[in-house]
Structure 1
Amino acid sequence: MKFKPFWLRKWSLLGMSLFLFLAACSGGQSSQGSEPAAAAGSEASSGPVKVVWWHSMSGELGKTVDSLVKQFNDSQKDVQVEAVYQGEYDEGLNKFKAAMGSGSGPTMMQTYEVGSRFMIDSQAVTPMQQFIDADKFDVSQLEENILSYYTFDNKLYSMPFNTSNPILYYNKDAFKAAGLDPENPPTTYADVEKAAKALTKDGQSGGSFPIYGWLMEQLLANQDVELLNNSNGRSGLATESMLNSDAAVNTLTWWKKMVDDGVMLNLGRKTDDTKKAFAAGQIAMTMDSTASLRGIVSSAEGKFEVGTAPIPKPSADYKGKGGVIVGGASLWIMNDKPEAEQQAAWKFIKFLTEPSTQAYWNVNTGYFPITKKAYDEDLIKENMKKYPQFETAVNQLHNTKIDPATQGAVMGIFPEARQLTETAMEEAINGSKSPKQALDDAAAQITQKLQDYNDSIAQ
């Protein structure tokens, strides 16, 4: 397939020149990329092979990234990794697009999960599977439910790095005060609605869910419902959005009803706002990422006990169906770098998958370990005792049935699609459109964007 990215048509003449330069420099490589070298540093070199890693981890997460890089660099002399923060996910991906063909891009790139289809279609990456096969690397040591998102056509394209999924957080003290059993949290939509009504009193609202497209995607996957045609874009390029499915309309109707009834607050799109309201005791329930668990528990310390539960399903009839999609980001190796440099990046990635490294990453960030044996590390065992709520997330991940719905949708215009989803959610919850009309309109716009994108890469 001759590649002409959708975004390329909007570039300036300079951007077009840069892209053509990349094609020339990469020798017309296909999406399979170049073959990895036999070993890092196998070519003549006056020093260690340098690997430039672009990432989007800021604050405490960024400090943990820097610590991991230092641990790796200090552990050997053949490879030296330089981690460079590039802003949030969208900004980092845009910088990557701008750097394509300029020679100033990274050796490896952290890209959020919804950027996966673009990364593949860019033809700028060497699939991780090539390194795995050449090295006979044992992927069975890694979590299947995490690997599944980044696997396309039975090929792992990138290595999962920071991984999370959403869970229900609730105020155990508020549950007890409302006459609810704090050890039996709600599991269905009706349970959530009933609990929200009981919890709404004395200036406290039953809860608030952020208007976040990721949560809608998760609630649909939890019903084993696909977001796109063609097996969620995994058996072929997606050509139609199914955001307006009956399951989506019913879910948004349930959400809106609780807001209309005054038992759920609408605090907008920012997850930080719902977290702050939860910590302040203004709301008794919320849905958020497992990566927020430590922060949420810590913010409630001394005020109330935080409980966690799997995200709800429409009814008990859905038990055993569906599950959660992993969120977060993965690591990609660029195919326009020398083979020794690519292999050096692979060496660092293998270090990141080691049980002790994954234990350190989990304890210091709250993201899932991608390596099964990390749970045997004393560091994680001690952390699980301190934060037993995390077991909810682990069980939810392991209880998820792998199929196209729970693997997650893939499309080259996912960031735009998620924004359109959030607009539809907002329109419905604010009452400017019915849930069905809002989702119908968003699905039509996403479908048109999919067609435009598919046309661009077919030319």
Structure 2
Amino acid sequence: MFAAAACGSSDGDSGTENAAGALAPLDSATKVTIKFLSYNYGTPGLGGTGTQALIDAFEKAHPNITIEPQGVATKDVLTRLRTDTAAGSPPDVAQIGWSKMAEAVQALPIVPVQEIPPTAEWDEHVAGMSKSILSAVSVDNQVKAMPYTMSIPVLYYNADLFRAAGLDPAKPPTTLEEVKKAGLAIKGTGSEGVYYGVVDSAKSDFLTQSVVNGNGGSLVDANGEVTLDKPAAVGALTGIQDLVKSGAMPAVNTETALAAFTTGKLGMLVTSTAVLASAMKAADGKFELRTAGFPTFGSKPARPTYSGAGLAVLAKDDAHKRAAWEFIKFVTSDAGFEIITSKIGYLPLRESVATKLEDSAIVKLLAPSLEQLDTVAPYTAFRGTKANQAVVALQDEAVEPIVLRGADPGPTLTSVAEKIRKLSA
């Protein structure tokens, strides 16, 4: 199931030469403390404990490097980084969501991670990583931020509620229309049917992109032009709105829907694998949790994009840059991805880890996402230094009112598209 990811495009291949300033390993006697800004760190649940487990394992393997973790809300990452950078004290490593990465690379003094180690060391480290993901996150054939906590949206479903509604849990819905029918059947039993987590409190548009991509549209074209008001995008969000209008999907926020699903009151949830470990824990002994691939629009192919975050380096001096690389190299190694996958639920971006854990319950539930890695669409960003502001406008002024409040999709997307074009100018 990992084969497709391992043989993708080589646009982001490690063959790009490092800068002349590539750094040799630290002397073991050199003591360094690096600041790590993370939106997973300190959060309740398995994301927080998984991040702490990564830090503990790294410090045990590298006694000369101390990690000083700093927690921050996902939506506040860029604001915090801008403030800390202006004050002259940016973190050495920052976990930045992909919806915010384009603006971060333009607005902050990020050191491209591929430039830090010598070429041979970089090549050796990324040799076992998913080439399709490395290609998808590369800019001008260079990896500026290392893929870290990555996921593809998946359809979670409660097999017990399927049976109660007369549905076959061995045949989960594969299209939006089938999702609607199944959702209405479950709704008829007194539970809620389905929820697409496109309205995200983190202000991420990865699921919005995945839905629009699946209907043959895009938010931004290959030339960087805004296309979210084109017919395919309008039709995609109209389809999700129809779920709410039909009664198959409740008009609530993502947090409410997640709580309903984990307590066995919602039949299906389409969202990131980031909540998988928590969902497994909640379902244990209460209901049978299963997963399926990202639903399609009829016969059109699914084209989900990735969510999660990359690790960016903002360290100033050579010792901190090299220490930052050692930390990044560890957490994206086999040992790191075993923790990330088993304790949090993000994808194992190394074939060796996927193989080692293939019989584990969590990797079996990740299988649909791993199988869709061959069709993963690169995350597309709006142009300019206000790219994140544009994403927030999309989510707050278009997606939420269309999906949850019944706003007319066409005029709403036209208005927001014009606003984003001005922000991107």
Query: Does TM, normalized by the shorter one, top 0.5?
Result: yes
Cα distance in structure 1, aligned partners of 2:33 and 2:194: 49
After TM superposition, give the deviation of residue 197 of structure 1 in Å.
2.5
Aligned residues: 395
**Matching of residue 244 in structure 1 with residue 229 in structure 2:** yes
Q: 2:331 aligns with which of 352, 367, 372?
A: 352
**Matching of residue 400 in structure 1 with residue 375 in structure 2:** yes
- Aligned counterpart, 1:328: 308
Cα distance in structure 2, aligned partners of 1:355 and 1:224: 36
Q: In the alignment, residue 402 of structure 2 is paired with which amino acid?
A: A
The answer for unaligned runs of 5 or more in structure 1 is 1-31, 452-459
After TM superposition, give the deviation of residue 387 of structure 1 in Å.
5.9
What's the TM-score once normalised by structure 2's chain length?
Answer: 0.85
- Aligned counterpart, 1:436: 410
Cα distance in structure 2, aligned partners of 1:181 and 1:134: 52
Cα distance in structure 2, aligned partners of 1:39 and 1:303: 49
- Aligned counterpart, 1:110: 95
What's the TM-score once normalised by structure 1's chain length?
Answer: 0.79
Larger Rg: 1
- Aligned counterpart, 1:338: 317
CA contact (8 A) 1:209 1:274 kept: no
CA contact (8 A) 2:220 2:228 kept: yes
CA contact (8 A) 2:206 2:379 kept: no
Q: 2:208 aligns with which of 213, 216, 222?
A: 216
Q: 1:66 aligns with which of 45, 52, 74?
A: 52
Q: In the alignment, residue 237 of structure 2 is paired with which amino acid?
A: L
CA contact (8 A) 2:116 2:321 kept: no
Alignment of 1:146-161 (within 5 A): 146-161=133-148
Q: In the alignment, residue 162 of structure 2 is paired with which amino acid?
A: F
- Aligned counterpart, 2:386: 413
Alignment of 1:71-220 (within 5 A): 71-77=57-63, 79-122=64-107, 124-131=109-116, 134-138=119-123, 139-210=126-197, 211-212=199-200, 213-220=205-212
Cα distance in structure 2, aligned partners of 1:425 and 1:148: 29
- Aligned counterpart, 2:401: 427
Q: Could you say if the C-alpha distance between residues 102 and 264 of structure 1 is closer, same or farther in structure 2, counting changes exceeding 3 Å?
A: closer
After TM superposition, give the deviation of residue 415 of structure 1 in Å.
3.1
Q: Could you say if the C-alpha distance between residues 450 and 194 of structure 1 is closer, same or farther in structure 2, counting changes exceeding 3 Å?
A: same
Cα distance in structure 1, aligned partners of 2:288 and 2:219: 35
- Aligned counterpart, 2:275: 292
After TM superposition, give the deviation of residue 34 of structure 1 in Å.
8.3
Q: Could you say if the C-alpha distance between residues 135 and 89 of structure 1 is closer, same or farther in structure 2, counting changes exceeding 3 Å?
A: farther
- Indicate the SS of the match to 1:208: strand
Q: Deviations over 1:70-102 (max 9, x none)?
A: 32222234x413232231123232122112253
The answer for unaligned runs of 5 or more in structure 2 is 1-17
Cα distance in structure 1, aligned partners of 2:279 and 2:19: 42
Q: In the alignment, residue 428 of structure 1 is paired with which amino acid?
A: I
After TM superposition, give the deviation of residue 366 of structure 1 in Å.
0.8
Q: Could you say if the C-alpha distance between residues 129 and 296 of structure 1 is closer, same or farther in structure 2, counting changes exceeding 3 Å?
A: same
Q: Could you say if the C-alpha distance between residues 228 and 69 of structure 1 is closer, same or farther in structure 2, counting changes exceeding 3 Å?
A: same
After TM superposition, give the deviation of residue 200 of structure 1 in Å.
2.1
CA contact (8 A) 2:305 2:378 kept: yes
Q: In the alignment, residue 214 of structure 2 is paired with which amino acid?
A: N
- Aligned counterpart, 1:12: none
Cα distance in structure 1, aligned partners of 2:262 and 2:51: 27
Q: What is the alpha-carbon root mean square deviation over aligned residues? A: 2.5
Q: In the alignment, residue 61 of structure 1 is paired with which amino acid?
A: G
**Matching of residue 39 in structure 1 with residue 31 in structure 2:** no
CA contact (8 A) 1:126 1:333 kept: yes
- Aligned counterpart, 1:4: none
Cα distance in structure 2, aligned partners of 1:64 and 1:297: 15
Q: Deviations over 1:409-439 (max 9, x none)?
A: 1234343233322331232245553111111
Q: Deviations over 1:258-304 (max 9, x none)?
A: 22222221113xx2211122234433122121111122233233332
After TM superposition, give the deviation of residue 206 of structure 1 in Å.
2.2
Cα distance in structure 2, aligned partners of 1:186 and 1:170: 10
- Indicate the SS of the match to 1:51: strand
Cα distance in structure 1, aligned partners of 2:179 and 2:358: 31
- Aligned counterpart, 2:11: none
After TM superposition, give the deviation of residue 132 of structure 1 in Å.
5.1
Q: Could you say if the C-alpha distance between residues 200 and 157 of structure 1 is closer, same or farther in structure 2, counting changes exceeding 3 Å?
A: same
- Indicate the SS of the match to 1:350: helix
Q: 2:345 aligns with which of 366, 373, 394?
A: 366
Cα distance in structure 2, aligned partners of 1:116 and 1:354: 22
